[in-house]
Structures are given as structure tokens and as C-alpha cells.
Chain A
């Protein structure tokens, strides 16, 4: 039971980051392989505040995620300003991921590659569930408002969106900022769950897992990626003996999804009580057909 609890908590912490990534990649159609760096910034930011300065946990969490957001604004400005498609941003974020790791390994306050041990463990199941619910609600409200709709329009056709008065730069910049905020929050939770962080925890592996959840869960859907996150944390646990092959599995999931089902698990749709009812209706119709 304790084991399942651990997996559940780890998955739920991931969900917070995945929601951020969903807004960025799933809704705005931008690409990043460096978001682990924002998780790292959030984790270190929050951990340093509680560890060295004895800040209250929730405040540290908020400030850590704000720090990640602030950094995203600095990185995002030069890379998004030119409106040049997402390649420039993607490359810049790859470099950014490396740079952040190097900086964390060499700063005094982060204690280098050895990491920060003995962080207060404040992240209990209720805390994580509350954080996750807040994240989901914020994302849902955002996505259904004009802000989210603009993101979708930019993803679908940036030129047409611009001609309908959607400010391209602002929309992309804002989406990037939000994704960094969520990743930062996820990092803060992570630090205060494990009680220990080191730079090696925030690598490409983590960025990969998050992106795989978003893509396989379905572009343009919130519920899909959330479900996919749990699958992607639970399934490798079942196949523990093949631990080395975990990333091969994620990579293949990305490629196969794009080739055979680019809409992913739940592309452009959401699971709601209505859709559950529809599924139920279809299943029972199918059942009746089989019986008769």
C-alpha cells in the first residue's frame, strides 16, 4: 500500500508539470525539451527558502514557482519576439536546460552536484491533491477563456489568428510563462516530498516523460495528458525488470503516436460526465447487439 502511495504521489507531482506543458505544447503548439530546467528552478528556489531561510512551506512553493516564471520571461522574450516558429525556442530551451544544470552544479547555495539533503518534508497526500486540483482548475478556466482560445488559434493557424486580432507574441509569451509557473510548482512539491534534490534529477529524462505524457495524452486536451501521466508512471513500475528500456519506451511512444494517432489518447476532446455517458450508451448498444 505504501508503495502505491509513493507511485501515486510521484505521478501527481508530475501531473502539475504536465498540465503546464499541456498549455504550452498541447494548446499553443510550441515545443520544448528544456522544461525540466523550470522544474529544477522551482525545486531549488522553494527548497533554498525553506532550508536556509525557514520560509513557510506554501509561501516558498509560490515564490519558487514565481522564480521559474520570471526566468521564463527572460528566456522567452528574445526567443519568441521574432515570431519565427517554434524551432528557435526549441533550440534555445535545449541550451537553457544544459545551462541551468551547469549553474546549479556550480553555485554555492545549491551545494553543487552533491545536492541539497534534509529539506523539510511537507508534501503529504492532501497537500499534493490540493495543489493538483488548483492546477487543474486554473488550467481549465484558462483554456476555456479567451486566453486559452487564442492559444488554440495560434496553434491551428498563426497567420489567420493574427488577422483576427490575436496578438501572437503576447499569447505565446503568456503560454510559456504559465507553463514555467506550473513546472516550478511541480518542482517545489518534488523537493519537499523527497526531502533531497540534486541537479542530476532534472535531466532530459524528465522533460521527455512530461512531453510524452502531453503528446500521447492528446494535443488540445487536458484530461488526456493527466491520464497519460498516471499510465506513464505506473506502467514502467510494472516492468521494473526492464528499467533500462524505459526511455526507449517513451521515445517510441512519441514517434508511434505522431505517426499513427497524432491526436493521441484524447486529442481535441475531454473526458467529462457527458462523454462518459456517451461511451456507456455506445457500450450498452454494442452489448445489446451482441446479445440479440
Chain B
């Protein structure tokens, strides 16, 4: 079943064309990898899908419905949620409040409930608190519940950001460089974490990543972008052998450099 479909996407910033003629589909329970050199337009795709930017041309469909004219919160309601390349937690808020921020999205009490603290309000608030703590326990973050989130170590901040995204109960999760700036041990941890949430929450994912082992061990399909265009698509094995990809990354295609890609 096709979940997300991009048709001939084009995005211009002023006169510069950041993306051109991008089309692809993501099926349910796929994990798609988006790779490419810096400035290839990977994050721009996320920004277009979540409508942080307006699209210049083209169509984005989620479950067959066009979403490129919807507001961000409506897109989230459909089940599309993202994380950020540079972690964007609410730094001054506690770990718990960061997760609750997502859960409040579906809190359905009105202003009067809040002002008069009705039963409905109390019940929903209690549920949210419980749900947030449960989620944190599942993600092994329960020790840090009351800690201000910018005091967490870097790796845990990433984890918290993913937890916060999960709290929105997404069907599709867009992860923007989840392993950026991590050491090899942390990278292994994050791979395990993503695998875990993928199976437990029946997710469909798109991952942008520079660490090739994250991509190769998670994704069943990879799209390579360069200068706003799609230059290759295929399984991890095929992509690693593709001369166009190697050229995009390194400028030429010697065997030594091919190894570097595999290693990177």
C-alpha cells in the first residue's frame, strides 16, 4: 500500500532551484533512506512534506490525499511526524514536559474545562501524564523525567527527540540525520533503537543520514540526491556499486574510493 507519494516536486528559493523533478513513493512499512552530499536537498524534502516550506511545483500525496496545501498540524493529524537535524528540544523544559508537548496535541478538552478544572480536564491531564511516563519508560528515559532537557547528554537528547515524535502516534516518521555527531557506539545504539520502534509501532520511515551503516542496516530502499535531483534509487548493495553515486560523493570512481563509501 502506497503511503507517501511525491510527484514531480520542484522547490525554488529565489532563483535557485533546490529540488527539481523529484518523484518517489514510500510503501507502508518501508524504510526509505535518503542520502546525498550536503546541500543536495534532502532536508528540503522533509520541509516540503511537513509544509515548513511551500512547494513551488508538484504534488505530495499521503494515502492518496494531497497534503501540500494543508497546515502543518493537519499533516501531523494524518500521521506524518519529523525530527530535526540539529536537535530542537524545548531546552528549558523538563524531559517529561517535552514528551507531554506532543501528547497535548490530541488533548480534547476546551477552555472551560481548563478554567474550571472539570472531571474531563483532570482525567485527560492524568492520562497524558501517565502516557508520557510510560513512553519514557519504554524508551529507557524514565530516570531523567524531571531533568531540564538541555542538561541531557547529546545521545539522550536525540533519543528524547525521537520519543517526542513517537508521542504524536505517527504512522510515518521522518528522521533527519538521527545519528549526526555520534560516536560509533552511539551509532549502534541508535540503529537498535530505530529498529525497535519500527517493529513495535508498525512505522513507515524515511531516514536522512550520512552514516552509511545506519542506512545499510535499516533501509530496504535508498534514494540518492545530488544538486536537487535524484541520481539513483535501489537496494543498499546496488547503490554502493553505482558509479553515478560514487561520482557524486567523490568526484571520480576509483575502487579505493568505493571502499571508502562502503566504510563511511
What is the distance, in angstroms, from A145's C-beta to the closest C-beta of chain B? 4
The answer, among A152, A156, A165, for a CB contact under 8 Å with B72, is A165
Contact A141–B76 (Cβ < 8 Å) = no
- Nearest B residue to A154 by beta-carbon distance? B90
Asked if B16 is at the interface (CB within 8 A of a chain A CB), the reply is no
Docked-complex contact B76 and A165, CB < 8 angstroms: yes
Chain B residues with CB under 8 Å of A138's CB are 115
Chain B nearest CB from A136 CB (Å) reads 13
* Residues B22-38 near A (CB distance < 8 A): none
Chain A interfacial residues counted at CB < 8 A: 23
Q: Which of B3-11, B94-102, B135-143, B180-188 interfaces with chain A? A: B94-102
- A152–B90 alpha-carbon span in the complex (Å): 9
Q: In the complex, are the beta carbons of B117 and A164 less than 8 A apart?
A: no
Given contacts A141-B114, A145-B121, contact A165 B93 (CB under 8 A): no
The answer, yes or no, to whether A234 is at the interface (CB within 8 Å) is no
Query: Which residues of B lie under 8 Å from residue A166 when comparing CB positions?
Result: 73, 101, 105
Structural contact, B52 and A164, CB atoms closer than 8 A? no
Q: Do B114 and A156 touch across chains, with their CB atoms under 8 A apart?
A: no
- Cβ of A159 within 8 Å of any chain B Cβ, yes or no, is yes
Q: How many of chain B's residues have a CB under 8 angstroms from any CB in A?
A: 33
Within B63-81, which residues are at the interface with A (CB < 8 Å)? 71-73, 76-77, 81
Point out the residues of chain A lying under 8 angstroms from B50, CB to CB: 163
A152 to B93, CA, bound (A): 9
CA distance A156 to B148 in the complex (A): 13
Within 8 A of A (CB), among B149-181: 164, 168
The 8 A CB mask of A184-200 against B (1 = contact, 0 = none) is: 00000000000000000
Tell me whether A249 is interfacial, beta carbon within 8 Å: no
Assembled-state Cα–Cα distance A145/B125 (Å): 8
Which residues does chain A contribute within 8 Å of B109, judged by CB atoms? 145-146
Out of A145, A153, A165, name the residue touching B90 (CB < 8 Å).
A153
A6 to nearest B CB, angstroms?
32
Residues of B within 8 A of A162 (CB): 52, 72-73
A246 within 8 A of B: no
**Interface flag for B256 (CB, 8 Å):** no
Q: Residue B168 contacts which of A142, A161, A164, A220 (CB distance < 8 angstroms)?
A: A164
Set B82, B104, B111, B117: member contacting A163, Cβ < 8 A = B82
Shortest Cβ gap from A215 to chain B (Å): 16
Q: Are A163 and B90 in contact, CB atoms less than 8 angstroms apart?
A: no
What residues of B have a CB within 8 angstroms of the CB of A160 in the complex? 84, 88-90
Minimal Cβ-Cβ distance residue in A for B84: A160
A77 interface residue (CB < 8 Å to B) = no
CB-CB under 8 A for A164 and B164, given A156-B91, A268-B92:
yes
Question: Is A150 part of the binding interface, using a Cβ–Cβ cutoff of 8 Å?
Answer: yes
Q: In the assembled complex, how far is the CB of residue B171 from the closest CB belonging to chain A, in whole angstroms?
A: 14
Task: Please determine whether B52 and A146 come into contact, CB atoms closer than 8 angstroms.
Answer: no
Chain B residues near A167 (CB-CB < 8 A): 71, 73
- What are 15 A-B residue pairs whose CB atoms fall within 8 Å in the complex? A142-B114, A149-B97, A149-B104, A153-B93, A156-B90, A157-B89, A157-B91, A162-B52, A162-B72, A163-B72, A163-B76, A163-B88, A165-B76, A165-B105, A165-B168
Q: A146-B107, A163-B84, A166-B101 are in contact. List 20 more A-B contacts (CB 8 A).
A: A141-B114, A142-B114, A145-B121, A146-B104, A147-B114, A149-B97, A149-B104, A152-B90, A156-B93, A160-B88, A160-B90, A163-B76, A163-B81, A163-B82, A164-B76, A164-B101, A164-B164, A164-B168, A166-B73, A220-B92
Residues of A within 8 A of B (CB): 138, 141-142, 145-147, 149-150, 152-153, 156-157, 159-167, 220, 268
